[in-house]
């Protein structure tokens, strides 16, 4: 029979076929040996990879959900929520509350269950419940991811305690620190270094912790009330309706918050020491900014 | 038989040799050692031909024909594609079974099990990559096998039913791949399968579609029930079905014989089963050696590819609340995705594929032309080629390059640092991202050539979209890289532009990148950077 023109390409000899098969087997053995040799390192790299990715995911969750109260850099906001990026937190907090488990478990548990009670709390807001198991928004893997992110501050936090890198923690009232001075976990006298010039209102609104309780975008209406502090979205419209001019009302509410409590809110929640922590100039700028209808973030 | 009289009759040595040959013959299911020697020397079989015995003795061999027609054993006649399809199913079964050891089909565990498999199981990643590669190859090879039988006209009488069972096998293969796709429970899997099953919902009338969708997903949305159902389909139901139809298919193949090259017989005749004695190629040993060496060679290539060039993807864990930008189906469903872009779900997702499938299965009954010669089949071959080209165009339309552009600023960031997967920035990694603020208007240049590449791409992408998109003017970008935590950098992309109305607008997207995280592409040289001793930062 006529063979096709490309028939010279066919491998016909069984010996050649068998030799090719043996060569292939040898190649596979070499490849498996190679993989076997680097397998240990590959698994280590993969392990580190997934921990790294978990921290990345946690960072994203933190940036979207936690920084409002615990601060952009995790150093907490005065009166709003405690510092996590803090040497005290990593070294002493568990001893003070008598927690026998690991810090990982403590963080994961606190994230998952929150602190949904205001009894004897020194903080303006309650820590919400985050886990879906208790009605929050996070899946289990997300609780783990934020926990991994928080714990990743450890290396930096342990370097704190020097004058130019103070530990930002504020004393907890629920469990006073039992640390001795030489353990280095005593609170820094003043959290924020003295400012050099007037700080812009946008920055103050975050660094003073206002952002933790007051929503800037939502309007305050009878059906849409801020849960902890009133919303400030429509402040320029409502501030003048309290029997004094808008500027005085807002100014007094910052300097002396308990003088006038909006109906439905409790006195004593908003910190009353803002006059000491901001200059008069800064407060005036902040008030003007808050009353600006076209406020820029 | 008693040993004593045996030894008395022959010598001890002869008795032992005979016993050894007996054992050997049992192991080879009927071929004595002397015959094996003749096989290896390429001598003709003894008479009566002992090489036929294993075909009646051994179960696995009784399925195989004892001899083939010389013309059909040529590589270019079948390209061994049917054999390869069968073999790949076998590879998938073995690797799949091994993967099952570390896998539990629940949303709480599936994804974590994948991570454990990759980072804690020796050769775990290899098994996973191999299984994934095998699955993609199987789809490709089965399709090519179909193309081959189409082009040689092998579906014509008497093989119509062989073709029909083949179409069923193709459908099962596609469903097998698709059901396996969901199991890693990552974003890629979740959204591809969500879109896929939502097509079932479009089956008219609504009550049927909803019921089918509900049955597949086990709930209105894919969740624990859906995962379990897909798992059972993937590891039990579909493989069993494929197994069954394979034997029907292969029985038909053997029964009719593989069709001869059309030039070797008269039009309308089928002489595949009448092989003249001088054209016979016996399975033992010739075809067996050929097939075995071919499969071993192919396996070696697969292992080589998995070692260096193929890594199964694993994206973020499935999140029903957030659809990633540009969700894509696996490549073998791009054509369907392309169709869905130009027609609505009922037409593109149900009616057209349904009609195509019926047409495909009915080809042997529609094509009444008795000739299998290409010369006589111009219409059939040209329509086949046209269908192939249409498929390729539709597939191209299924990729994100066609008609699903998000806003230019979003696309620019997606090009460099996609929401899921690797991208240039993650590929060069943490240590090539120096802290700082880089403004494309200032054409910044750093000491790191790999990072300069990123900056260059950033500016180039912005310029490209500026030219293409009239709503995107005077655009520039700022890339900020800051240290967020030990070993964790924050990467902020800011893009500013002016709309046609002269309004300034901006887009900001933040990502985090950890020092140890590795991101990889599915195809391409694998990342072996972990082999280098860690360099000082
Ligand atoms: C899992 C999928 C499949 C497997 C395992 C399989 C297996 C096989 C095998 C082993 C053969 C022997 C000849 C050869 O190697 O070419 C064969 C022949 C054949 N297959 Fe398939 N096949 C599959 C899918 C298909 C599909 C999708 C079609 C077409 C729609 C098809 C149509 C045919 C036909 C018509 C023949 C006879 C070829 C001839 O006699 O020349 N098969 N198949």
Domain range summary for chain B, segments of one domain joined by +: 3-62, 72-320, 408-536
How far apart are the C-alpha atoms of A55 and B51, rounded to whole Å?
64
Find how far residue B354's CA is from the centre of its chain. Answer: 22
Tell me: pLDDT of A191 over 70: no
B528 has a chain A CB within 8 A of its CB: yes
- Is residue A214 predicted with pLDDT exceeding 90? no
pLDDT tens per residue across span B263-321: 888 998 899 999 998 999 999 889 999 999 999 999 999 999 999 999 999 999 999 98
Q: How far is the CA of B502 from the centre of ligand 1 (A)?
A: 63
Q: Could you give the CA distance from residue B64 to residue B250 in angstroms, rounded to a whole number?
A: 9
Angle formed at CA A136 by CA A131 and CA A142, multiple of 5 degrees: 40
Tell me how far CA of residue B518 lies from CA of A60, A206, A295, B422, B432, in angstroms: 18, 34, 42, 9, 13
Atom 6 of ligand 1, residue of closest alpha carbon: B82
pLDDT tens digits, residue range B376-387? 999 999 999 999
Closest by Cβ to A10, choosing from B75, B111, B285: B75
Reported as a single tens digit per residue, the pLDDT across B202-260 is: 888 889 989 988 999 999 899 999 999 999 999 999 999 999 999 999 999 999 999 99
Q: What residues of chain B lie within 8 A of the CB of A165, using their CB?
A: none
Strands in B473-485's sheet, in edge-to-edge order, are B436-439, B473-485, B488-498, B504-514
**Contact list, B288 vs chain A (CB under 8 Å):** none
**Quick one: pLDDT at residue B176?**
97
Which of the four pLDDT bands, split at 50, 70 and 90, describes residue A184? very low
Residues 53-92, chain A, touching B (beta carbon < 8 A) = 53, 55-57, 59-60, 63
At A1 the pLDDT is 57
Interchain contact A153–B (C-beta under 8 A): yes
To the question of domain B72-320 being in CATH 1.20.810.10, the answer is yes
Tell me whether residue A152 is exposed, middle or buried, using C-beta atoms within 10 angstroms of its C-beta: 0 to 12, 13 to 18, 19 or more: buried
The answer, for B483 touching chain A at a CB cutoff of 8 Å, is no
* CB contact (8 A) between residue A55 and residue B488: yes
Q: Which residues contact A24 (CB under 8 A, 6 or more apart)?
A: B293, B296, B297, B299, B300
- Residue B307 C-alpha to ligand 1 middle, in angstroms? 30
Q: Does residue B264 sit at the A interface (CB-CB below 8 Å)? A: yes
CA–CA distances in Å: residue B471 to residues A74, B408, B460, B500, B502: 39, 9, 17, 5, 10
Closest listed residue to residue A254, CA positions, set A227, A288, A294: A288
pLDDT (tens digit, 9 = 90+) per residue, A229-270?
888 888 888 888 887 888 888 888 888 888 788 887 877 677
**Atom nearest to B272 CA in ligand 1:** 40
Cβ distance of A52 and B125 shorter than 8 Å: no
Per-residue model confidence as pLDDT tens digits over B128-149: 999 999 999 999 999 999 999 9
Tell me the per-residue pLDDT of B305-318, one tens digit each, with 9 for 90 and over.
999 999 999 999 99
Flag whether the pTM goes above 0.90: no
Closest CA to B251 of B62, B25, B409: B62
B67 bridge partner residues: B282
Counting ligand 1 atoms within 8 A of each CB, the residue from B81, B83, B85, B145 with the most, and so the one to mutate, is B145
pLDDT at residue number B530? 86
Q: How confident is the model at residue B478, as a pLDDT?
A: 95
Residue B86 beta carbon below 6 angstroms from any ligand 1 atom:
yes
Placement of tokens 């924050």 in the chain = B490
- The candidate with the shortest Cα–Cα distance to A85, out of A159, A145, A138, A140, is A159
Bridge partners (DSSP) of residue A40 are none
- Find the closest chain A residue to B531 by CA distance: A41
pLDDT of residue B534: 52
* Separation in Å, CA of A151 to nearest CA in chain B: 10
Instruction: Summarize the confidence of residues A187-211 as an average pLDDT.
Output: 68
**Of all residues in chain A, what percent carry a pLDDT higher than 70?**
93
Indicate yes or no: CB of A43 within 8 angstroms of CB of B122. yes
CA of B148 to the centre of ligand 1 (A): 9
Smallest CA-to-CA distance from B112 within A53, A198, A61 is with A53
Asked if the model's pLDDT at residue B466 lies above 60, the reply is yes
Residues A67-84 pLDDT 10s? 888 988 899 887 788 999
Residue B537: its pLDDT value, please? 41
Check pLDDT > 80 for residue B440.
yes
The CA distance from B364 to B149, in Å, is 11
Domains in chain A, CATH or no CATH each: 67-188 (no CATH), 201-291 (1.10.760.10)
Structure tokens at B13: 């040595």
The answer to whether the CB of B51 falls within 8 A of the CB of B259 is no
DSSP string, A22-71: HHHHHHHHHHHHHHHHHHHHHHHHHHHHHHHHHHHHHHHHHHHHTHHHH-
Chain B hits for A1, CB-CB cut-off 8 Å, are: 70-71, 264, 279
Interface touch A31/B307, C-beta < 8 Å: yes
Residue B59, chain A, CB below 8 Å: the answer is no
Contacts of B514 in chain A (CB under 8 A): 51-53, 55-56
- Top pLDDT among A266 and B371 is at B371
Instruction: For residue A82, give Cα distances in angstroms to A29, A174, A209, B42, B68.
Output: 58, 12, 11, 85, 81
Q: Read off the pLDDT of residues B347-364 as tens digits, 9 standing for 90 and up.
A: 988 999 999 999 999 999
Per-residue pLDDT, A221: 83
pLDDT class for A196, splitting at 50, 70, 90? low
Residue with CA nearest ligand 1 atom 25: B166
Q: Which site among A3, A43, A66 would you substitute to test the B interface, given the most B Cβ atoms closer than 10 Å to its Cβ?
A: A43
- In B, minimum Cα distance to A19 occurs at B293
| SS3 at position B375 | helix
- What phi and psi, each to the nearest 5 degrees, are found at residue B415? -65, -40
CB contact under 8 A, A25 and B115: no
Yes or no, beta carbons of B514 and A149 under 8 Å apart: no
């Amino acid at each position: 029979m006529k063979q096709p023109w490309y028939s010279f390409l066919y491998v016909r000899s069984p010996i050649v076929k068998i030799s090719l098969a043996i060569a292939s087997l040898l190649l596979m053995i070499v490849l498996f040996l190679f993989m076997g040799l680097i397998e240990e390192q590959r698994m280590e790299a993969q392990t580190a990879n997934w921990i790294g990715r978990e921290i990345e995911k946690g960072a994203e969750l933190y940036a979207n959900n936690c920084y409002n109260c615990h601060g952009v850099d995790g150093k907490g906001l005065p009166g709003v929520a405690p510092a996590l990026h803090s040497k005290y937190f990593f070294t002493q907090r568990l001893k003070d509350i008598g927690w026998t488990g690991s810090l990982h478990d403590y963080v994961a548990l606190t994230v998952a269950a929150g602190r949904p009670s205001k009894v004897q709390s020194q903080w303006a807001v309650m820590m919400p419940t985050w886990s879906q198991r208790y009605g929050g928004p996070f899946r289990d893997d997300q609780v783990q991811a934020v926990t991994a992110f928080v714990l990743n501050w450890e290396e930096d936090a342990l370097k704190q305690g020097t004058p130019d890198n103070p530990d930002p923690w504020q004393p907890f009232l629920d469990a006073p620190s039992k640390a001795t001075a030489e353990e280095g976990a005593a609170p820094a006298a003043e959290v924020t270094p003295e400012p050099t010039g007037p700080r812009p209102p946008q920055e103050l609104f975050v660094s003073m912790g206002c952002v933790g309780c007051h929503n800037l975008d939502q309007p305050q209406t009878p059906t849409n009330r801020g849960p902890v502090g009133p919303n400030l979205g429509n402040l320029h419209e409502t501030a003048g309706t309290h029997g004094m001019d808008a500027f005085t009302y807002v100014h007094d509410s910052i300097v002396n918050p308990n003088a006038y409590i909006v109906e439905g809110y409790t006195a004593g929640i908003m910190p009353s020491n803002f006059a000491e922590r901001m200059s008069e100039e800064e407060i005036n700028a902040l008030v003007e900014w808050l009353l600006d209808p076209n406020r820029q973030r | 038989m008693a040993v004593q009289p045996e030894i008395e009759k022959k010598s001890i040595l002869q008795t032992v040799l005979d016993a050894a040959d007996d054992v050997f013959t049992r192991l080879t299911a009927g071929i004595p050692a002397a015959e094996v020697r003749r096989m290896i020397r390429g001598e003709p079989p003894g008479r009566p031909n002992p090489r036929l015995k294993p075909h009646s003795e051994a179960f696995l061999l009784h399925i195989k024909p004892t001899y083939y027609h010389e013309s059909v054993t040529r590589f270019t006649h079948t390209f061994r594609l049917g054999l390869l399809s069968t073999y790949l199913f076998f590879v998938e079964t073995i690797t799949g079974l091994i993967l099952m050891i570390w896998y539990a089909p629940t949303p709480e565990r599936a994804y974590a099990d994948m991570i454990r498999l990759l980072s804690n199981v020796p050769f775990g990643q290899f098994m996973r990559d191999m299984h994934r590669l095998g699955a993609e190859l199987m789809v490709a090879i089965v399709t090519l096998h179909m193309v081959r039988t189409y082009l040689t006209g092998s579906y014509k009488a008497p093989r119509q039913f062989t073709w029909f069972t083949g179409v069923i096998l193709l459908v099962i293969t596609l469903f097998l791949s698709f059901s396996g796709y969901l199991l890693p429970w990552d974003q890629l899997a979740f959204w591809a399968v969500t879109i896929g099953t939502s097509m079932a919902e479009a089956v008219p009338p609504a009550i049927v579609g909803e019921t089918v969708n509900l049955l597949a997903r086990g709930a209105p949305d894919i969740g624990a029930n859906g995962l379990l159902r897909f798992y059972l389909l993937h590891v039990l139901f579909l493989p069993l079905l494929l197994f069954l139809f394979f034997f029907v298919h292969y029985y038909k193949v053997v029964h009719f014989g593989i069709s001869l090259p059309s030039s070797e017989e008269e039009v309308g005749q089928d002489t595949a089963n009448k092989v003249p004695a001088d054209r016979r190629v016996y399975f033992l040993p010739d075809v067996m050696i050929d097939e075995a060496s071919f499969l071993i060679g192919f396996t070696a290539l697969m292992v080589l590819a998995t070692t260096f060039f193929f890594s199964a993807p694993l994206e973020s864990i499935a999140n029903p609340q957030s659809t990633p930008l540009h969700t894509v189906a696996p490549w073998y469903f791009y054509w369907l995705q392309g169709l869905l872009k130009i027609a609505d779900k009922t037409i593109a997702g149900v009616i057209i594929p349904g009609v195509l499938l019926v047409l495909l299965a009915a080809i042997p009954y529609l094509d009444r032309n008795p000739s299998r010669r290409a010369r006589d089949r111009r219409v059939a071959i040209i329509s086949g080629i046209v269908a192939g080209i249409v498929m390729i165009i539709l597939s191209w339309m299924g990729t994100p390059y066609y008609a699903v552009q998000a806003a230019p600023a979003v696309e620019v960031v997606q090009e460099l640092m996609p929401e899921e997967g690797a991208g240039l920035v993650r590929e060069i990694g943490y240590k090539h991202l120096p802290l700082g603020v880089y403004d494309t208007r200032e054409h910044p240049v750093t000491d790191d050539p790999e990072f300069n590449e990123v900056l260059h791409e950033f500016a180039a992408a912005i310029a490209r979209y500026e030219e293409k998109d009239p709503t995107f003017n005077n655009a520039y970008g700022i890339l900020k890289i800051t240290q967020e935590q030990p070993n964790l950098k924050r990467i902020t992309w800011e893009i500013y532009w002016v709309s046609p109305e002269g309004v300034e607008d901006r887009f900001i997207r933040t990502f985090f990148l950890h020092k140890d995280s590795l991101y990889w592409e599915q195809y391409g040289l694998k990342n072996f950077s972990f082999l280098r001793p860690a360099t000082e930062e």
